[in-house]
Structure 1
Amino acid sequence: MAAATHWLATATAQAVLERGGNAFDAAAAGGFVLQVVEPHLNGPGGDLVGLFHAAEDPRPRVLMGQGPAPRGATIEHYRAEGLETVPGAGALAAAVPGAVDAWLVLLRDYGTWELADVLAFAIGYARDGHPLLASASATIARVAQLFRDEWPSSADLWLPGGTVPRAGDVFRNPALAAVFEGLVAAGRDATDRAARIEAARTEWRTGTVAHATAAFAARPHRHSTGGHHAGVITEADFADFSAGYEEPLTTTFRGRTVVKAGAWTQGPALLEALALLDPLPDERLDPATAEGAHTIVEAFKLALADRDAHFGHDSVVSELLDPAFLAARRAQLLPDASHEWRPGTVAGRAPHRPPLVRPDGTSVAGTGEPTVGRAGETRGDTCHIDVVDEWGNIISVTPSGGWLQSSPAIPELGFALGTRLQMIWLDETSPAALRPGARPRTTLSPTLVMTGDRADIAMGTPGGDQQDQWQLPMLLRMLVGGWDAQSAIDAPTLHTTAMIDSFWPRTWTPAGVVMEDRLGDEVASGLRARGHDVTVVGPWSLGRLSAVGIDRSRGLLWAASNPRGMQGYAAGR
């Protein structure tokens, strides 16, 4: 079974499974296709976080595809450039690209297919074309003038004939196809499959991509702040990075084990929220009631405050799951909406207080750091893929970054650098401070759920700060309410905006809640009566969840995908 945010990635993964590949071959093939067909949501210049449980492994593992800050990315340099925060677009926001190397490492260690066969799908869609998504066309339209005026290489690629391509137009990217073909060609003289993949990794890290990226990024160009700056990424930064594996963090909820990556992601916030809610009665955990929605939102506000105060590259956050800490935090779940930022104290450290800036640009309680104007802001989003195979291998991966709107396209490569550094602070006292060689804290946050000692659910969603927030109601409906995954995805959902935005210009909206109107007037009025600032949006507006799983009691696999946006798909047999 396979499920992804784009039907061509799902079709690719399923084609690999049908031809005898395993879940890791399928996920890698689908992941490379996502770089081609969702270019406004991810690309080779971006990053990824994955969770997987191989059939032969006793424990699940984290696939770490988050590159670090370049050597030249120092607070002093950014301050000297006149910056108070890391820009949201432009090469100064770029971490070292990590997604491609992560897919290659996974394929080398856990896959069975040759790289040429895995990449054939992405090469074909890049060289021969694919139907452009309506959302990709809309993104290009929003930044078309920026491309024409400031980023001519992006205009050359994304505005063929000088016009915005329409939804459904067949779009080709021959430069990107050539990059993938170069990875395959690098290993043609190697003697075995692993050596051929290693040759591709070496080519990616030291060859054409590294040279072209470093040379191009060194040219000053427009950033989201309105200024022109050169990037600091170098060939040595590419050569230094290697993707790999880490041990996950876990907590138990209603007898199941929930698995997340560490505090260089926002994943532990979901674990904390689940642990806060676990002892509460079922009726307080129903997102379709005002009481349940209030409780869920308030629990996540506490967890996200802890994220913003404590999470970072080398943070240890196991205390967040300590019973005594959780009991103290649970006592802070009040009957009315909190309008304050309330982190806990972890390991005796006072919480780091980032600047709290409202969306209108006003500072909160003398925090001091000014917000930056929104001119030139070019936000992106994310994609996702889940795969499970007949042998019991299961994987969930959330790739992102390297959006077509994140920085100027590199002409020889057909893609742009990412902007993950916008999630860190130019404040050396922060656990998420800009440090050369340190990973920025990412919002990417896939999830595994285990029954006993085996993972049987893999799930995730795009959505930035909302990724774990949209996964929580789905998990509650499945693990408490007994819903099937598709029904839980289809159900109306909500999230809080009362956290420090991970994306430039890093604003904070006290007591904000966004909910789909299908949750109903009773929930909306009940939340407002409790003091929440409620924004009601369209009936199918929030979340792009997908999932796969194993029903061992019936000997079946299952998959589920999101109907919102009508581009995600689940498939299998």
Structure 2
Amino acid sequence: MSFTTRPEILGSFGVATSTHWIASAVGMRMLEQGGNAFDAAVAMAFVLHVVEPHLNGPLGDLPALIWPAEDDRPTVVCGQGTAPAGATIAHYRAEGLQMIPGSGLLATVVPGAFDGWMLILRDHGRLSLREVLEPAIHYARAGHPMLPRVSNTIAGLADFFREEWPTSYATWLPGGQVPRPEALFRNPDLADTWERLLTEAEAKSARAAQIDAARAAFSQGFIAEAIDGWMRDACVMDAAGGRRKGVLTGQDMAGWQASYEAPVSVDYHGWEVFKPGPWSQGPSLLQSLRTLEGTEIASMDPNGAEFVHTVAEAMKLSFADREAYYGDPDFAEIPVETLLSRDYARSRSALIGASASLEQRPGAIAGYEAWAAAAVARAARETLEAGVGAGEPTMAHLTEKHPTEKRGDTVHIDVIDRWGNAVSATPSGGWLQSSPVVPGLGMPLNSRAQMFWLDEGLATSLKPGARPRTTLSPSMAARPGGARLAFGTPGGDQQDQWQLIFLLRLVHSGANLQQAIDAPLFHTTSFQASFYPRGVNPGHLMVEPALGEAAIADLRARGHRVEVAEPWTVGRLTAAQRDASGLMRAAATPRLMQAYAVGR
């Protein structure tokens, strides 16, 4: 595994890596100005809102892992907003819905990303609010080079925006024209929003007080007021094909704040791997590691058919459990301890056979039979023909019939500074496809509520105040010898699949970060999707052609319904590491030609 598309970045001062080169450069600038990893991550995030608006926005969602240098373990920052008080199953059913749409106002939960970033900045950063927001304001005001992928997304939605979402039409098609690829694109309303926020915040003198004032302006002040006022009257087209009003209010926003919590973790071959809890899909990666302990995975060729088959089968089992048993632990008793136990994993490993499984097989846990049965029934109900709707939203699989079903995706950030502080964050939601732009703010609402079910009695049943079971899933690990690793990827349901493959190659093949990222990737959609219309593709397996014709033929012979992707299109991984010696490493995927790692 010696081939790489670019070098693994090495240094001792700091490293920053993300899914867009401008954001990575901005992160490094914060470190050069005396900021730490927390300052850098916040600045990078707000820039990503500007330069990748089809993948994330300020009114979206944020799970992050932060690891202060002096701490023994990382901490989870929960910037995942909750369902509004009016978001009841009865209300949505009364709207004629059997499933929450993938876009529009009923798909919205309380915006969480902004407050999550402000919590990190206030409690752990060093720089001022103005210093970390200035780069985003610059690119929103002066312009940034329009990514061809964003231009194409806007072009595909132009007629829909003009007819149904006029505020989005005005924002994304200024002067009625689709922005040209690589031309400078501006979002002056967003720049004005942040400038006004700074003006109000800087009425306070102390740094922490300014950040708290910004949080108040967002959740209770002019931003919340703009959202509340617009939501009272707005009635817009959604992915289910109807015009509907939303239920989010200013009171919902005022009653929610980002928070800290402990991660979940497992040990694996001397490593300890950390993830957010079961309100994310993060424990599925940990379950897969536990399951693979019962196989010969360590001795397999990491690019061979046996490896791909074994990992894919383990992932199917873990994601079947995700669908049956994961949810907000504040509202349901989630059996995390059982799911991550070695005894349970041994029973799951025994199910991995020589042929590809086409079934949904959540594990049997006493007292949870109803959840498992419901998950199996839903999967049968939503089964799709193989290949339909498969793949990552950022890949070329826009097969949806309705314009607003063109899903957005996600971004990722990893940063480590010279003091040893580290951040891994996967912000998402609030993308330009999800919801109309809120008038005057320059940003749309999120659509994370689509991950709830409109059925009673489930871990993921829609409930006011509950967190949706998100796909967002940053990762950290402690390596043998004391190195600390931060890594992650966009990709919806694929996030913990690609991260698992990356991690296995680090653990078992001795690859460096760039080698593990560049090696051929794969994923399966042979389980319930998290995004509307929540389909299932039994036996589906997408692989990159670099696996080779022989391996692909072998996988087909095992019963996998293989879809061969275009070269270099699967996965958007980034990673950063600090060794015990102080040596830092970073890497980023060459796929989609956007992500970069920088450092010195």
Task: State the TM bucket, normalised to the shorter chain.
Answer: over 0.9
Q: Does 2:360 align with 1:341?
A: yes
CA drift of 1:198 comes to 0.5
Q: What SS class does the counterpart of residue 45 from structure 1 fall into?
A: coil
Distance 1:408 1:181 in 2: 22
Distance 2:231 2:302 in 1: 46
Cα 1:374–1:271 change in 2 (3 A) is same
After superposition, what is the alpha-carbon deviation per residue over 1:390-443, rounded to whole angstroms, capped at 9, x for unaligned?
Answer: 001011000000011111111210010010000110011211010000000000
Partner of 1:564: 591
Amino acid of the residue matched to residue 273 of structure 1? Answer: S
After superposition, what is the alpha-carbon deviation per residue over 1:314-338, rounded to whole angstroms, capped at 9, x for unaligned?
Answer: 1341211112111111111111111
CA drift of 1:455 comes to 6.0
Residue pair 2:348, 2:363 contacting (<8 A) in 1 also: yes
Instruction: Give structure 2 stretches of 5+ with no counterpart.
Output: 1-14, 387-399
Distance 1:98 1:85 in 2: 23
Distance 1:59 1:156 in 2: 46
Partner of 1:535: 563
Partner of 1:277: 292
Distance 2:335 2:104 in 1: 31
Distance 1:285 1:240 in 2: 51
Residue pair 1:471, 1:545 contacting (<8 A) in 2 also: yes
Among residues 291, 313, 318, which one is paired with 1:298 in the alignment?
A: 313
Partner of 1:364: none
CA drift of 1:191 comes to 3.1
Residue pair 1:287, 1:296 contacting (<8 A) in 2 also: no
Moved more, 264-273 or 373-382: 373-382
Residue pair 2:294, 2:349 contacting (<8 A) in 1 also: no
Amino acid of the residue matched to residue 148 of structure 2? Answer: A
Cα 1:295–1:201 change in 2 (3 A) is same
Amino acid of the residue matched to residue 326 of structure 1? Answer: A
- Superposition RMSD on alpha carbons, in Å? 1.5
Distance 1:346 1:123 in 2: 51
Partner of 1:308: 323
Among residues 495, 516, 525, which one is paired with 1:497 in the alignment?
A: 525
Partner of 2:178: 164
Q: What SS class does the counterpart of residue 427 from structure 2 fall into?
A: strand
CA drift of 1:99 comes to 0.4
Q: What SS class does the counterpart of residue 534 from structure 2 fall into?
A: coil
After superposition, what is the alpha-carbon deviation per residue over 1:252-272, rounded to whole angstroms, capped at 9, x for unaligned?
Answer: 111100000000000000000
Among residues 485, 495, 498, which one is paired with 2:513 in the alignment?
A: 485
Partner of 2:394: none
What is the number of residues matched between the two proteins?
562
Partner of 2:148: 134
Among residues 80, 83, 89, which one is paired with 2:103 in the alignment?
A: 89
Q: TM-score, normalised by structure 1?
A: 0.96
Residue pair 1:285, 1:295 contacting (<8 A) in 2 also: no
Distance 2:439 2:344 in 1: 52
Amino acid of the residue matched to residue 322 of structure 1? Answer: S
Distance 1:109 1:448 in 2: 20
Distance 1:536 1:32 in 2: 35
Amino acid of the residue matched to residue 269 of structure 1? Answer: S
Among residues 525, 550, 557, which one is paired with 2:578 in the alignment?
A: 550
Partner of 1:461: 489
Residue pair 2:43, 2:136 contacting (<8 A) in 1 also: yes
Distance 2:343 2:204 in 1: 55
Residue pair 1:448, 1:455 contacting (<8 A) in 2 also: no
Aligned positions of 1:12-23 closer than 5 A: 12-23=26-37
Distance 1:87 1:391 in 2: 45
Distance 1:248 1:40 in 2: 29
After superposition, what is the alpha-carbon deviation per residue over 1:515-543, rounded to whole angstroms, capped at 9, x for unaligned?
Answer: 00011111111111111100001120100
Q: Does 2:409 align with 1:384?
A: no
Residue pair 1:394, 1:455 contacting (<8 A) in 2 also: no
Q: What SS class does the counterpart of residue 478 from structure 2 fall into?
A: strand
Q: Does 2:65 align with 1:51?
A: yes
Partner of 1:252: 267
Amino acid of the residue matched to residue 146 of structure 2? Answer: L
Aligned positions of 1:46-445 closer than 5 A: 46-218=60-232, 219-282=234-297, 285-314=300-329, 315-350=334-369, 351-354=372-375, 355-356=378-379, 357-360=382-385, 374-376=401-403, 377-445=405-473
Partner of 1:5: 19
Amino acid of the residue matched to residue 144 of structure 1? Answer: A
Q: TM-score, normalised by structure 2?
A: 0.92
Distance 2:256 2:481 in 1: 32
After superposition, what is the alpha-carbon deviation per residue over 1:293-314, rounded to whole angstroms, capped at 9, x for unaligned?
Answer: 1000000000000000000011
Residue pair 1:382, 1:463 contacting (<8 A) in 2 also: yes
Residue pair 2:57, 2:431 contacting (<8 A) in 1 also: yes
Q: What SS class does the counterpart of residue 457 from structure 2 fall into?
A: coil
Distance 1:164 1:397 in 2: 31
CA drift of 1:186 comes to 1.9
Q: What SS class does the counterpart of residue 425 from structure 2 fall into?
A: strand
Residue pair 2:298, 2:508 contacting (<8 A) in 1 also: no
CA drift of 1:213 comes to 1.1
Residue pair 1:284, 1:295 contacting (<8 A) in 2 also: no
Distance 1:11 1:110 in 2: 21
Residue pair 2:475, 2:487 contacting (<8 A) in 1 also: yes
After superposition, what is the alpha-carbon deviation per residue over 1:213-258, rounded to whole angstroms, capped at 9, x for unaligned?
Answer: 1222331110111100001100001101100111000001111000
Distance 1:61 1:101 in 2: 16
CA drift of 1:281 comes to 2.5
Amino acid of the residue matched to residue 158 of structure 2? Answer: A
Distance 2:501 2:345 in 1: 20
CA drift of 1:57 comes to 2.1
Distance 1:287 1:223 in 2: 43
Distance 1:453 1:33 in 2: 35
Q: What SS class does the counterpart of residue 73 from structure 1 fall into?
A: coil
CA drift of 1:135 comes to 1.1
Q: What SS class does the counterpart of residue 189 from structure 1 fall into?
A: coil
Distance 1:206 1:521 in 2: 58
After superposition, what is the alpha-carbon deviation per residue over 1:464-494, rounded to whole angstroms, capped at 9, x for unaligned?
Answer: 0000101111111111100000011111110
Cα 1:183–1:292 change in 2 (3 A) is same
Partner of 2:547: 519
Residue pair 1:319, 1:347 contacting (<8 A) in 2 also: no
Q: What SS class does the counterpart of residue 593 from structure 2 fall into?
A: coil
Q: What SS class does the counterpart of residue 565 from structure 1 fall into?
A: helix
Q: Does 2:503 align with 1:506?
A: no
Residue pair 1:90, 1:224 contacting (<8 A) in 2 also: yes
Residue pair 2:294, 2:346 contacting (<8 A) in 1 also: no
CA drift of 1:286 comes to 3.7
Q: What SS class does the counterpart of residue 487 from structure 2 fall into?
A: strand
Amino acid of the residue matched to residue 336 of structure 1? Answer: S
Distance 1:279 1:509 in 2: 26
CA drift of 1:178 comes to 1.5
